[in-house]
Amino acid sequence: MKTRVFLTMSALLLFAANPVFAMTHQERLACTWTAGNCLDEAKILEKRIEKIEKDIKDSASSSPEEVKKLEKKLQDTKDQLERVEG
């Protein structure tokens, strides 16, 4: 009786663990991402925001179209940062 219970439990545990072993690399990365490992991404986005702001300040003599492109890029990057931090 104990052997049957042990074998049944072992089979059920292996069956339940099968999806973990079958995960692709992208699925593992998604799990890591959702687990809260966003700190590096946030730092990268903050540096990108600083660079874009510097480019906007340096582009005072540039065309207004280029400044608008940089401002749009800045806003998109800030939105990305909010999504990562939120």
pLDDT tens-digit readout, 12-39? 666 665 455 555 667 666 766 665 555 6
> What is residue 35's predicted lDDT score, i.e. its pLDDT?
57
> What pTM did the predictor assign?
0.54
Does residue 76 carry a pLDDT above 70?
yes
Report the C-alpha gap between 68 and 46 in whole angstroms.
20
Report the C-alpha gap between 17 and 84 in whole angstroms.
30
> What is residue 45's predicted lDDT score, i.e. its pLDDT?
86
> What is residue 8's predicted lDDT score, i.e. its pLDDT?
79
Domain ranges of the chain: 1-37, 38-86
Kindly state the tokens that stand for 40.
């590096």
**Cα dihedral 55/59/63/64 (nearest 10):** 70
